[in-house]
């Protein structure tokens, strides 16, 4: 029996989980959660995840966990053929963890600062301050990638999967990456897009683009 992932495909964290599952060859059963219809607030979903977020994973033995970072590290640790994507070596793993925390604590808030007011307050535009804050995240990643192909060093990891789901959303919807300012980041994104597991990001990203395009007036794409 395959693990079940509760999803909303426009969500970058959901897409990070689906990319990871595809990378390790793990078939998962997807159950769509309609956030706009309030399905995440129904008692049966709250019983699984009292924080009522997506994604939520229910493994084949009934084990349940949410938060994309917890899910992707769990899936790789349990189901991957080796530890390449999330190394057991403590120093390598520490760098991967730092990049994951950077994504959740630094990059994601910059996306939420733009999109949550769109949903909750009817915001229509992205401001110059929004753009500058997103570019600040780009600049850090540019530094992380200096001399390396992947965000945690010379090996692809779950940190790349987590970050590409949100960086692709920022780049293709809100603030295109300036290739002259951030050549390392631009090259990394192209490398990620060339990998077969990136396919799991494509439809949700386009759906997200169309959703925000329908609600905002000054998007670049």
Per-residue tens of pLDDT for the chain, all 221 residues:
899 999 999 999 999 999 999 999 999 999 999 999 999 999 999 999 999 999 999 999 999 999 999 999 999 999 999 999 999 999 999 999 999 999 999 999 999 999 999 988 999 999 999 999 999 999 999 999 999 999 999 999 999 999 999 999 999 999 999 999 999 999 999 999 999 999 999 999 999 999 999 999 988 86
CATH class of 4-79: alpha beta
165 is catalytic: no
pTM exceeding 0.95: yes
CATH topology of domain 90-213: Glutathione S-transferase Yfyf (Class Pi); Chain A, domain 2 (1.20.1050)
Active-site entry in 11, 68, 157, 165: 11
Burial class of residue 217 (count of CB atoms within 10 Å of its CB; 0-12, 13-18, 19+): exposed
Give the end-to-end CA distance of the chain in Å, rounded to a whole number.
41
Domain range list for the chain: 4-79, 90-213
């Amino acid at each position: 029996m395959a693990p079940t992932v509760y999803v909303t495909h426009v969500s970058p964290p959901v897409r990070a989980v689906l990319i990871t599952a595809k990378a390790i060859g793990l078939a998962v059963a997807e159950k769509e959660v309609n956030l706009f219809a309030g399905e995440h607030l129904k008692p049966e979903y709250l019983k699984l995840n009292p924080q009522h977020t997506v994604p939520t994973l229910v493994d084949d033995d009934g084990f349940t966990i949410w938060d994309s970072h917890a899910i992707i590290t769990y899936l790789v640790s349990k189901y991957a053929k080796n530890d390449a994507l999330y190394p057991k070596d403590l120093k390598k793993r520490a760098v991967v963890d730092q990049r994951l925390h950077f994504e959740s604590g630094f990059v994601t808030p910059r996306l939420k600062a733009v999109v949550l007011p769109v949903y909750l307050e009817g915001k229509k535009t992205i401001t110059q301050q929004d753009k500058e804050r997103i570019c600040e995240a780009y600049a850090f990643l540019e530094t992380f990638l200096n001399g390396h192909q992947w965000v945690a060093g010379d090996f692809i990891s779950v940190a790349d999967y987590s970050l590409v789901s949100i960086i692709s959303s920022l780049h293709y919807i809100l603030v295109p990456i300036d290739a002259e300012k951030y050549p390392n980041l631009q090259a990394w994104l192209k490398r990620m897009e060339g990998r077969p597991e990136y396919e799991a990001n494509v439809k949700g990203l386009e759906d997200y683009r169309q959703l925000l395009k329908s609600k905002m007036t000054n998007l670049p794409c």
